[in-house]
Amino acid sequence: MESTIAVGLDIGTTKVSVVVGERDVNGNIEIKGVGTAPSNGLRKGVVVNIDATVDSIRKAIEEAELMAGLTIKDVYVGISGNHIEGMNSRGVIAVSGREREITPAEVERVIDAARAVKIPGARRVLHVLPQEFIVDEQDGIKDAVGMCGVRLEAEIHIITGLTSAIQNMEKSVRRAGLVIRDMVLSPLAASYAVLSDDEKELGCILVDIGGGTTDVLVFVDGAVWHTGVLSLGGNQVTNDLTVGLRTSTVSAEVIKKKYGNALRELVNPAEMVEVPAVGGRMPQRVARTLIAEILQPRMEEIFNLANREIHMTGFDELIAGGVIITGGASLLEGSVELGEGMFKLPVRIGVPRAISGLRDMVSNPLYATAVGLCHCGLEDIEYGELARDSRDGLLKKMSRRAKEWLSEFF
């Protein structure tokens, strides 16, 4: 595979998505190939059947290879699930040297101090994300290199996952014949694709509603300050419809996508929908409002739990950029209106941005993570070749070194 191409592999509870992309002349990601396959080996984002997961990965990879006209050997893999946890930490050092000027080495040293926290042996560090630096009590500093001071502090966010869950995901990908370039938290990858820098700086919340779980990331001043995972997702919404309408899961999923609404008030009460029955019985006709009445409580529950995560952070008043919902369930009609009423903030659907090529195929929240993984992959490639001295490159380097350090000692 050419070094300028990155492949994102999103292994979700309901589907496996593969996106092949490279950087175009305008700095956007040119989509070269896309592949999808039903995911049958995961539950709530965690692998429960390796053989089924391997089969799903291979099918999606083959489809993407055929479309892109190349052989995929290495991938950037997204990982999520209710085993993911995030924590904040702070480190402090005294600045050495005659001029008291902060060097890259001292920035790394203060990151070392911040990451020196005890991680349980059953967990593995996925990311160490710098949030801000504080020089002599002056906070809000994104890049401390070159500044003068006697005391340097660093705030970081550490994201961990259950080692066994990560290993099972890695094993599935490798058994599919692929090399893992890196593993990235799925909502973090999605943020690369759907959030703007302005939204992150203003403070925003990303709510990624997947099939098995809903992930919540809180951004303040451009950095991640909270990671939360809810054990509810689009599958629970479909299951409610299956039980409420007494129909099959396949029919419930079709009805949800075509006629579903997260807010009853938006539905025409006179509209009727034909619902297939099971066991050879005759189809029934129900009011579309009944479908909304079944769907709305579950969507309210998801948004309520997400809202609770936000309140736990204490950053409620700093979220000027609003809420961005993405993932398959965000496509449910009425989700934006319901979300605005519950979050009391502007809400929009997060669709992959800054893309070209086969953009029509991936301009959908379903592909937010896979496209975001392409972003991460291309930045990783470009960091190694072009961006070693940039601020973003420095932060990526520190994050990588921090992850390696923690893996060695814990």
Domains of the chain: 85-161 (3.30.1490.110), 246-293 (3.90.640.10)
pLDDT at site 100: 83
Q: How much is the pLDDT for 391?
A: 34
Query: What is the C-alpha to C-alpha distance for residues 312 and 315, in angstroms, rounded to an integer?
Result: 8
Asked whether the beta carbons of 28 and 355 are under 8 A apart, the reply is yes
Q: How many CB atoms lie within 10 A of CB 239?
A: 13
Torsion 375-71-62-172 (CA) sign: negative
Determine contact, residues 159/85, Cβ cutoff 8 Å.
Answer: yes
The Cα-based distances of 320 to 317, 341, 381 in angstroms read 8, 16, 33
Identify the pLDDT of residue 262: 95
* Distances from the Cα of 6 to the Cα of 1, 18, 19, 33, angstroms: 9, 11, 8, 11
Q: What is the dihedral of CA 160, 161, 164, 165, to 10 degrees?
A: -160
Which residue, 171, 175, 167, is CA-closest to 61?
175
Nearest to 143, CA basis, from 308, 389, 346, 403:
389
Return the pLDDT at 121: 87
Phi/psi of residue 32, each to 5°?
A: -100, -30
End-to-end CA distance of the chain: 34
pLDDT at 392: 42
Closest residue by Cα to residue 303 from 191, 209, 203: 209
HSE of 365, CA atoms in CB hemisphere, 13 A: 21
Cβ 203 vs Cβ 72: under 8 Å: no
Within 24-164, strands assigned E span 29-38, 42-43, 46-47, 74-79, 85-94, 123-135, 138-141, 151-162
- pLDDT at residue 399, rounded to an integer: 47
Q: Mean pLDDT for each 10-residue chunk of the chain (410 residues)?
A: 79 95 92 95 92 97 96 95 94 84 89 90 92 92 90 95 96 96 95 95 96 94 94 94 94 95 94 90 92 96 94 88 95 96 95 93 95 93 50 45 46
Reported as type and span, the H/E element at residue 179 is: strand 179-185
Question: What pLDDT was estimated at residue 175?
Answer: 97
Half-sphere exposure of 246 (CA within 13 A, CB side): 10
Give dist(CA 14, CA 276) in Å, integer. 22
Amino acid letter at 356?
S
What pLDDT is stored for residue 96 in this prediction?
81
Q: Give the CB-side neighbour count of residue 29, counting CA atoms within 13 A.
A: 33
Residue 384: its pLDDT value, please?
Answer: 57
Q: Tell me the CB-side half-sphere exposure of residue 192, using CA atoms within 13 A.
A: 23
